[in-house]
Amino acid sequence: MKAVVFSLQGLVRMVCGLLAAFFLFYGVRGIYLDDLFVPTRRGNGIHFHGLPAWMAAGALFCFAASLISYLVGSLENPPNRPGDRSFNKWMKYLGTGLFFGAFLVVIFSTHKK
């Protein structure tokens, strides 16, 4: 039986790298300006300020770390180590939790603008 070799094509690597760089840049920019904007399908989108902005930026950092780990894992030998998949899974869970937590903080915040 032949071993399956895990290899990403060049275009997929480039897209993953650019997406990770965009997530990192957008998160840092949102924290720096204290205004992280999340567009929505309908409406004007959501602006995060303060703690929710930090939480949403943390979610973007988790998603970027997951993409970078996926990229690095595709270049290593032997590929597909169980630790890499576990790291990706937990980064996605943590990022999703932070992102929805930021929405909850905005929804249940006591201050009105």
Contact 24, 64 (CB under 8 A): yes
Q: Which pLDDT score is estimated for 30?
A: 94
Answer whether residue 9 shows pLDDT above 80.
no
Answer whether residue 7 shows pLDDT above 60.
no
Q: What is the pLDDT of residues 11-27, one digit of tens each?
A: 888 888 999 999 999 99
Domain count, the chain: 1
Instruction: Tell me, yes or no, whether 8 lies in a domain.
Output: no
Instruction: Tell me, yes or no, whether 83 lies in a domain.
Output: yes
Instruction: Tell me, yes or no, whether 14 lies in a domain.
Output: no
Instruction: Tell me, yes or no, whether 13 lies in a domain.
Output: no
Q: What is the pLDDT of residues 38-92, one digit of tens each?
A: 888 888 888 899 999 999 999 999 999 998 888 887 766 665 666 667 888 899 9
Q: Which pLDDT score is estimated for 110?
A: 62
Write the CA distances from 66 to 35, 69, 94, integer angstroms: 24, 5, 11
Residue with tokens 């920019």: 29
Q: Which pLDDT score is estimated for 105?
A: 92
Query: Left (φ > 0), alpha (ψ -120 to 50) or beta: where does 33 sit?
Result: alpha
| Cis amide leading into 78 (omega within 30) | yes
Burial code of 56-90, b = ≥16 C-beta within 10 A, e = fewer? Answer: bbbbbbbbbbbbbbbbebbeeeeeeeeebeebbee
Contact 30, 48 (CB under 8 A): yes
Instruction: Tell me, yes or no, whether 103 lies in a domain.
Output: yes
Residue 49 sits in which domain range? 23-38+45-107
Instruction: Tell me, yes or no, whether 30 lies in a domain.
Output: yes
Q: Which pLDDT score is estimated for 18?
A: 93
Instruction: Tell me, yes or no, whether 94 lies in a domain.
Output: yes
Contact 49, 41 (CB under 8 A): no
The confidence band for 113, taking pLDDT boundaries of 50, 70 and 90, is: low
